[in-house]
Amino acid sequence: MQEKIHSKVVCTVAICDSLARPLLQNMMQFNGLHGCGFCTDPGTNVPKGRGMTRAYPYKKDFVLRSSTETIEQAEHAFQNKKTVCGVKGPSILMCIPNFDIISGFIPDYMHCALLGVARQIRLWVESKYHRYPFYLGTQVERIDSRLLPIKPPSNISRIPRSVTQYKFWKAHEWFAWLVFYSVPVLKGILQEQYFLHWCLLVEGIAVLTSQSISEEQLYHCEQVFIHFVVLTEKLYGTEHVSYNVHCTLHLVKSVHDWGPLLAHSAFLYESYNGHLLDMVKGTLAVPLQMCRKFLMEQSLKMFKEKLHNTPAEKLFLSF
Q: What is the mean pLDDT of the chain?
A: 91
How do residues 208-253 score in pLDDT, each as one tens digit? 999 999 999 999 999 999 999 999 999 999 999 999 999 999 999 9
Q: Which residue has the higher pLDDT, 76 or 277?
A: 76
119-128 long-range CB contacts below 8 Å, 24 or more apart?
A: 119/166, 119/174, 120/198, 120/236, 120/240, 121/163, 121/166, 121/177, 122/166, 123/236, 123/240, 124/190, 125/163, 125/164, 125/166
Does position 99 have pLDDT exceeding 50, yes or no?
yes
DSSP structure string for the chain: -------------B---TTHHHHHHTB--TTSTT--SSB----EEEEETTEEEEE----TT--B--HHHHHHHHHHHHHHTS-BTTB-S--GGGGSTT--TTTTB---HIIIIITTGGGGHHHHH-GGGTTSTT--GGGHHHHHHHHTT----TTS-S----GGGGGG--HHHHHHIIIIIHHHHHTTTS-HHHHHHHHHHHHHHHHHTSS---HHHHHHHHHHHHHHHHHHHHHH-GGG--HHHHHGGGHHHHHHHH-SGGGS-SHHHHHHHHHHHHT--SSSSHHHHHHHHHHHHHHHHHHHHHHHTSHHHHHHHH-
Which pLDDT value is given to residue 315? 45
pTM value is 0.86
Give residue 309's pLDDT. Answer: 61
Model pLDDT, residue 276: 83
Residue 170 has pLDDT above 50, yes or no: yes
User: Is pLDDT of 312 > 70?
Assistant: no
The full set of domain ranges for the chain reads: 20-269, 280-318
Give the residue-averaged pLDDT of 3-26: 92
Q: What is the pLDDT of residues 121-132, one digit of tens each?
A: 899 999 999 999
